[in-house]
Amino acid sequence: MPLHDLHRLHRAPYRLAESPVWDDRSGKFLWCDILDGTITEMDEHGAGAQVWNLPPTIGSFGLAESGRLVVALRNAVHLFDRESGTLDLLAEIEPDEEETRTNDGKVGPDGAFWVGTMHDRKERRPIGALYRVTASGGVEKKAEGLHVSNGLAWSPDGRTMYHSDSTGAWVDAWDFDPASGAVSGRRSFLKLDDTIGRPDGAAMDAEGCYWSCGVSAGRLNRFSPDGELIEFFELPVPAPTMPCFGGADGRTLVLTSLTDGVSAERVAAYPESGSVLVARTEVAGAPITRFLDQG
Protein backbone atom coordinates (compact mmCIF):
# COMPACT_ATOMS: atom_id res chain seq x y z
CA MET A 1 0.00 0.00 0.00
CA PRO A 2 2.24 2.85 -1.20
CA LEU A 3 2.02 6.51 -0.39
CA HIS A 4 1.11 8.27 -3.62
CA ASP A 5 2.50 11.65 -4.65
CA LEU A 6 4.38 12.33 -1.42
CA HIS A 7 5.52 15.95 -1.48
CA ARG A 8 5.95 19.08 0.61
CA LEU A 9 2.75 20.86 1.60
CA HIS A 10 4.42 23.67 3.53
CA ARG A 11 7.91 24.50 4.73
CA ALA A 12 8.65 27.12 7.38
CA PRO A 13 10.88 25.17 8.22
CA TYR A 14 9.39 24.33 11.58
CA ARG A 15 11.39 23.75 14.72
CA LEU A 16 8.86 21.25 16.08
CA ALA A 17 5.74 20.86 13.95
CA GLU A 18 3.18 18.57 15.55
CA SER A 19 -0.45 17.71 16.21
CA PRO A 20 -1.98 17.83 12.70
CA VAL A 21 -5.79 17.77 12.69
CA TRP A 22 -8.30 17.64 9.81
CA ASP A 23 -11.22 20.06 10.13
CA ASP A 24 -14.00 18.62 7.98
CA ARG A 25 -16.10 21.78 8.41
CA SER A 26 -13.52 24.13 6.90
CA GLY A 27 -11.90 21.54 4.61
CA LYS A 28 -8.47 22.37 6.02
CA PHE A 29 -5.65 20.79 7.98
CA LEU A 30 -4.27 22.46 11.08
CA TRP A 31 -0.98 21.88 12.90
CA CYS A 32 1.18 23.64 15.48
CA ASP A 33 4.81 24.47 16.07
CA ILE A 34 5.26 23.51 19.71
CA LEU A 35 8.27 25.71 20.41
CA ASP A 36 7.25 28.81 18.46
CA GLY A 37 3.65 28.77 19.68
CA THR A 38 1.92 28.94 16.29
CA ILE A 39 -1.08 27.13 14.85
CA THR A 40 -1.31 27.05 11.05
CA GLU A 41 -4.37 26.25 8.92
CA MET A 42 -4.16 25.30 5.23
CA ASP A 43 -6.00 23.16 2.71
CA GLU A 44 -4.49 19.99 1.23
CA HIS A 45 -3.31 21.92 -1.82
CA GLY A 46 -1.36 24.50 0.18
CA ALA A 47 -3.94 27.28 -0.18
CA GLY A 48 -5.92 29.36 2.30
CA ALA A 49 -3.16 29.66 4.86
CA GLN A 50 -3.81 31.32 8.19
CA VAL A 51 -1.55 31.47 11.23
CA TRP A 52 -2.42 32.16 14.87
CA ASN A 53 0.22 33.10 17.44
CA LEU A 54 -0.29 31.69 20.92
CA PRO A 55 1.96 31.59 23.97
CA PRO A 56 4.58 28.88 23.59
CA THR A 57 4.67 26.05 24.42
CA ILE A 58 1.74 24.42 22.51
CA GLY A 59 1.82 20.74 23.44
CA SER A 60 -1.11 19.74 21.21
CA PHE A 61 -4.68 20.66 20.30
CA GLY A 62 -7.96 19.30 18.95
CA LEU A 63 -11.23 20.46 17.45
CA ALA A 64 -14.16 21.46 19.65
CA GLU A 65 -17.84 21.09 18.84
CA SER A 66 -18.34 24.85 19.23
CA GLY A 67 -15.80 25.56 16.48
CA ARG A 68 -13.11 26.51 18.95
CA LEU A 69 -9.89 24.59 19.52
CA VAL A 70 -9.02 22.79 22.74
CA VAL A 71 -5.35 23.65 23.20
CA ALA A 72 -2.77 22.31 25.64
CA LEU A 73 -0.27 25.02 26.49
CA ARG A 74 2.71 24.32 28.70
CA ASN A 75 0.86 23.51 31.91
CA ALA A 76 -2.82 24.13 31.18
CA VAL A 77 -5.62 23.35 28.74
CA HIS A 78 -7.49 26.26 27.16
CA LEU A 79 -10.31 26.82 24.69
CA PHE A 80 -9.15 29.01 21.80
CA ASP A 81 -11.56 31.02 19.67
CA ARG A 82 -10.15 31.30 16.16
CA GLU A 83 -12.41 34.23 15.32
CA SER A 84 -11.68 36.47 18.30
CA GLY A 85 -8.26 35.10 19.24
CA THR A 86 -9.29 34.67 22.89
CA LEU A 87 -8.02 31.96 25.19
CA ASP A 88 -10.20 30.70 28.03
CA LEU A 89 -8.56 28.60 30.74
CA LEU A 90 -10.20 25.21 31.14
CA ALA A 91 -7.89 23.21 33.40
CA GLU A 92 -4.38 23.26 34.84
CA ILE A 93 -2.04 20.34 34.21
CA GLU A 94 0.84 19.84 36.66
CA PRO A 95 1.04 23.61 37.35
CA ASP A 96 3.62 23.20 40.14
CA GLU A 97 5.96 20.92 38.20
CA GLU A 98 8.65 23.09 36.57
CA GLU A 99 10.31 20.25 34.66
CA THR A 100 7.29 18.93 32.75
CA ARG A 101 5.15 20.26 29.93
CA THR A 102 2.16 18.98 27.98
CA ASN A 103 2.81 16.96 24.86
CA ASP A 104 0.70 14.76 22.58
CA GLY A 105 -3.03 15.20 23.01
CA LYS A 106 -6.19 14.23 21.11
CA VAL A 107 -9.94 14.24 21.51
CA GLY A 108 -11.15 10.74 22.31
CA PRO A 109 -14.35 8.98 21.23
CA ASP A 110 -15.80 10.03 24.60
CA GLY A 111 -15.58 13.72 23.62
CA ALA A 112 -12.91 14.44 26.25
CA PHE A 113 -9.42 15.77 25.58
CA TRP A 114 -6.70 13.26 26.39
CA VAL A 115 -3.30 14.85 26.91
CA GLY A 116 0.01 13.65 28.28
CA THR A 117 3.02 15.32 29.81
CA MET A 118 6.75 14.78 29.40
CA HIS A 119 9.96 15.50 31.27
CA ASP A 120 11.19 18.61 29.48
CA ARG A 121 14.90 18.01 29.97
CA LYS A 122 17.60 16.39 27.82
CA GLU A 123 17.93 13.43 30.17
CA ARG A 124 14.34 12.25 30.47
CA ARG A 125 13.00 10.93 33.76
CA PRO A 126 9.70 9.03 34.10
CA ILE A 127 7.73 11.85 35.72
CA GLY A 128 5.14 12.43 32.99
CA ALA A 129 1.53 11.28 33.03
CA LEU A 130 -1.60 10.92 30.89
CA TYR A 131 -4.76 12.91 31.70
CA ARG A 132 -8.40 13.06 30.64
CA VAL A 133 -9.83 16.59 30.57
CA THR A 134 -13.59 17.19 30.28
CA ALA A 135 -15.59 20.24 29.21
CA SER A 136 -16.40 21.01 32.85
CA GLY A 137 -12.68 21.38 33.56
CA GLY A 138 -12.38 18.03 35.30
CA VAL A 139 -8.95 16.41 35.19
CA GLU A 140 -8.34 12.70 35.76
CA LYS A 141 -4.88 11.12 35.79
CA LYS A 142 -5.03 7.86 33.82
CA ALA A 143 -1.37 6.76 33.70
CA GLU A 144 1.93 7.89 35.20
CA GLY A 145 5.62 7.04 35.18
CA LEU A 146 6.08 8.30 31.60
CA HIS A 147 9.16 9.88 30.05
CA VAL A 148 7.38 11.33 26.98
CA SER A 149 3.66 10.66 26.69
CA ASN A 150 2.80 10.24 23.00
CA GLY A 151 1.12 8.22 20.27
CA LEU A 152 -2.56 8.55 21.20
CA ALA A 153 -5.01 6.95 18.76
CA TRP A 154 -8.27 5.00 18.92
CA SER A 155 -9.52 2.01 16.96
CA PRO A 156 -12.30 2.67 14.40
CA ASP A 157 -14.97 1.38 16.80
CA GLY A 158 -13.59 3.54 19.62
CA ARG A 159 -13.15 0.57 21.92
CA THR A 160 -9.34 0.39 22.01
CA MET A 161 -6.99 3.23 22.94
CA TYR A 162 -3.32 3.23 21.94
CA HIS A 163 -0.71 5.23 23.84
CA SER A 164 3.08 5.35 23.73
CA ASP A 165 6.17 6.50 25.56
CA SER A 166 8.66 7.79 23.00
CA THR A 167 11.64 7.22 25.27
CA GLY A 168 10.43 3.83 26.52
CA ALA A 169 10.11 2.99 23.66
CA TRP A 170 6.77 1.18 23.69
CA VAL A 171 3.10 1.39 22.68
CA ASP A 172 0.39 0.02 24.97
CA ALA A 173 -3.24 -0.77 24.20
CA TRP A 174 -6.18 -0.26 26.57
CA ASP A 175 -9.80 -1.31 26.51
CA PHE A 176 -11.82 1.89 26.13
CA ASP A 177 -15.44 2.75 26.90
CA PRO A 178 -16.56 5.44 24.40
CA ALA A 179 -19.52 6.37 26.59
CA SER A 180 -17.64 7.05 29.83
CA GLY A 181 -13.98 7.31 28.86
CA ALA A 182 -13.12 4.50 31.28
CA VAL A 183 -9.96 2.53 30.47
CA SER A 184 -8.96 -0.95 31.57
CA GLY A 185 -7.06 -4.02 30.46
CA ARG A 186 -3.78 -2.25 29.75
CA ARG A 187 -1.39 -4.43 27.76
CA SER A 188 1.75 -4.19 25.68
CA PHE A 189 1.13 -3.61 21.97
CA LEU A 190 4.59 -2.77 20.58
CA LYS A 191 8.22 -2.67 21.70
CA LEU A 192 10.27 -0.43 19.40
CA ASP A 193 13.82 0.84 19.00
CA ASP A 194 15.82 3.54 17.22
CA THR A 195 16.12 1.48 14.04
CA ILE A 196 12.41 0.77 13.60
CA GLY A 197 11.69 4.22 14.96
CA ARG A 198 10.88 5.38 18.46
CA PRO A 199 7.13 6.05 18.55
CA ASP A 200 6.12 9.67 18.18
CA GLY A 201 2.66 10.81 17.05
CA ALA A 202 0.22 8.32 15.59
CA ALA A 203 -3.01 7.92 13.64
CA MET A 204 -5.45 5.09 13.03
CA ASP A 205 -6.84 3.96 9.68
CA ALA A 206 -10.26 2.51 8.90
CA GLU A 207 -8.82 -1.03 8.82
CA GLY A 208 -7.70 -0.73 12.43
CA CYS A 209 -4.01 -0.31 11.63
CA TYR A 210 -1.81 1.95 13.73
CA TRP A 211 0.40 4.44 11.85
CA SER A 212 3.36 5.61 13.95
CA CYS A 213 5.97 8.21 13.07
CA GLY A 214 9.37 6.66 13.75
CA VAL A 215 11.01 9.89 14.84
CA SER A 216 14.47 8.35 15.21
CA ALA A 217 14.42 6.50 11.88
CA GLY A 218 12.97 8.97 9.37
CA ARG A 219 10.10 6.70 8.51
CA LEU A 220 6.38 6.07 8.94
CA ASN A 221 5.42 2.62 10.27
CA ARG A 222 2.08 0.87 9.79
CA PHE A 223 1.18 -1.87 12.29
CA SER A 224 -1.70 -4.34 12.11
CA PRO A 225 -4.24 -4.64 14.97
CA ASP A 226 -2.12 -7.59 16.15
CA GLY A 227 1.05 -5.49 16.35
CA GLU A 228 2.69 -6.79 13.16
CA LEU A 229 4.75 -4.32 11.14
CA ILE A 230 2.89 -4.52 7.83
CA GLU A 231 4.86 -1.88 5.96
CA PHE A 232 6.98 1.19 6.42
CA PHE A 233 7.69 4.26 4.35
CA GLU A 234 11.06 6.02 4.14
CA LEU A 235 10.46 9.76 4.34
CA PRO A 236 12.43 12.76 3.02
CA VAL A 237 12.75 14.11 6.58
CA PRO A 238 14.98 12.65 9.32
CA ALA A 239 12.49 13.21 12.15
CA PRO A 240 8.76 12.88 11.34
CA THR A 241 6.48 13.65 14.27
CA MET A 242 2.82 12.83 13.54
CA PRO A 243 0.54 11.57 10.73
CA CYS A 244 -3.04 12.68 10.19
CA PHE A 245 -5.71 11.43 7.78
CA GLY A 246 -8.14 13.85 6.18
CA GLY A 247 -9.43 15.28 2.95
CA ALA A 248 -12.93 14.79 1.55
CA ASP A 249 -12.49 11.01 1.31
CA GLY A 250 -10.21 10.57 4.33
CA ARG A 251 -7.35 9.38 2.14
CA THR A 252 -5.11 12.44 2.28
CA LEU A 253 -2.26 11.96 4.75
CA VAL A 254 -0.44 14.92 6.28
CA LEU A 255 2.85 14.43 8.15
CA THR A 256 4.63 16.94 10.37
CA SER A 257 8.35 16.96 11.16
CA LEU A 258 10.98 18.74 13.25
CA THR A 259 14.44 20.26 13.07
CA ASP A 260 14.96 20.95 16.78
CA GLY A 261 17.74 18.72 18.12
CA VAL A 262 18.70 17.45 14.67
CA SER A 263 22.31 18.13 13.67
CA ALA A 264 22.98 20.82 11.07
CA GLU A 265 24.65 18.23 8.87
CA ARG A 266 21.62 15.97 8.95
CA VAL A 267 19.23 18.85 8.26
CA ALA A 268 21.41 19.84 5.29
CA ALA A 269 21.26 16.27 3.99
CA TYR A 270 17.45 16.36 4.12
CA PRO A 271 16.29 19.66 2.57
CA GLU A 272 12.67 18.94 3.53
CA SER A 273 13.54 18.81 7.26
CA GLY A 274 10.96 20.68 9.29
CA SER A 275 8.42 20.57 6.48
CA VAL A 276 4.81 19.48 6.54
CA LEU A 277 4.35 16.71 3.96
CA VAL A 278 1.24 15.46 2.19
CA ALA A 279 0.45 12.25 0.30
CA ARG A 280 -2.46 10.13 -0.87
CA THR A 281 -3.17 6.71 0.62
CA GLU A 282 -5.26 3.71 -0.45
CA VAL A 283 -6.99 3.48 2.93
CA ALA A 284 -9.03 6.11 4.74
CA GLY A 285 -8.43 7.23 8.27
CA ALA A 286 -10.60 6.20 11.21
CA PRO A 287 -13.29 8.71 12.29
CA ILE A 288 -12.22 11.44 14.70
CA THR A 289 -14.38 13.24 17.23
CA ARG A 290 -14.73 16.76 18.59
CA PHE A 291 -14.34 18.00 22.12
CA LEU A 292 -17.77 18.30 23.72
CA ASP A 293 -17.38 21.83 25.02
CA GLN A 294 -20.25 23.90 26.32
CA GLY A 295 -20.52 26.41 23.52
Distance, CA of 79 to CA of 108 (rounded, Å):
16
Residue 212's alpha-carbon distances to 46, 229, 267, in angstroms, are 24, 10, 21
Catalytic site positions: 200
- Confirm if 40 and 30 have CB atoms less than 8 A apart: yes
- Regarding beta strands 69-73 and 76-80, do their DSSP bridges make them parallel or antiparallel, or are they unpaired? antiparallel
Provide the residue type at 246 as one letter.
G
Strands (E), 121-225: 128-133, 139-146, 149-154, 160-165, 170-176, 183-191, 199-204, 210-214, 219-223
Q: Is the dihedral of CA 5, 6, 7, 8 positive or negative?
A: positive
